[in-house]
Chain A
Amino acid sequence: MSNARLASRYAKSLIDLATEQNQLETIYADMKYIHAVCNANQDFVNVLRSPIINAGQKNSIIDAVTKSNVSSLTNSFTVLLVKKGREAVLPEMATAFIEQYNAIKGIHQVTLTTAVQVSDDLKKSIEEKVKSAHQFASVELTTKTDEAIIGGFVLEFNNNIVDASIARDLRDIKKQFLNNEFISKI
């Protein structure tokens, strides 16, 4: 159902258009907004994907949701999507746009997982550490909390995971006690 290639093509053209019109930052903010709306409100996504609701209705729904919060360029972009019958991929498009924007700007997404909420100071220092270790131009840090890791932290970036959690330490030690070399394993 979702179409990543289609989404990234539309996103790319929107990026090109936005750069051409010097509105990249504005459109980026708009796409972030749409992304947030789609994440927060499943009904909106359902409307976009519904085959029963006709184009005119969809247009007015999208207008009602986004018009007061996005620029005219984004607005005409959504109108164009509806006209072309591609409104179903709007959520993916917003995601793809943000990804491509990050790639252009050299922004790297880093996810930090900890057992409890940590202070901003600590987040900053970890951010700096990742930046200097990998020569990232800039870093966008998202934080998650997961009690199951007990302590320490888990960092995810660029498809890498740095697991410095206590849960992992315990798991590693536990592994050493699982096998008994003196019993034949047949």
Chain B
Amino acid sequence: MHNWLSNNKKNAAITDVKNQVGGLVIDVAEKILRKELSNKAEQEAYIKQLAEGVKLN
């Protein structure tokens, strides 16, 4: 019973770390994406590629 409780705590802690790292990664990713897409040509290329693949219905 104690084993189960501590296992749960361990998982909670791991998930918490995972979430925090995930949050940081997204913040960084956003910055990089903004930089990558800051010029017009890149934007257009990306939109073009996206428009090919997107399903509209």
Contact = CB atoms under 8 A, between A and B. Distances in A.
A150 B37 contact: yes
A182 B15 contact: yes
B1 interface: no
A116 interface: yes
Interface in A120-163: 122, 125-126, 129-130, 133-134, 150-153, 155, 162
Contact residues of B: prevailing secondary structure: helix
A153 B51 contact: yes
Contacts, number: 82
A122 B44 contact: yes
A125 B16 CA distance: 45
Contact residues of A: prevailing secondary structure: mixed
A182 B47 contact: no
Please classify how large the interface on chain A is, using the bins under 10, 10 to 19, 20 to 34, 35 or more.
20 to 34
Contacts of B48: 122, 125
Chain A to chain B: the 10 pairs with minimum beta-carbon distance, closest first: A177-B22, A182-B12, A133-B56, A151-B37, A177-B19, A182-B11, A180-B15, A183-B12, A164-B54, A116-B43
Interface of A: 114-119, 122, 125-126, 129-130, 133-134, 150-153, 155, 162, 164, 166, 170, 173-174, 176-183
20 contacts: A114-B43, A117-B40, A118-B40, A118-B44, A122-B51, A125-B48, A129-B51, A130-B56, A151-B47, A153-B47, A153-B50, A153-B51, A164-B50, A164-B54, A173-B22, A174-B26, A177-B18, A180-B16, A180-B19, A182-B8
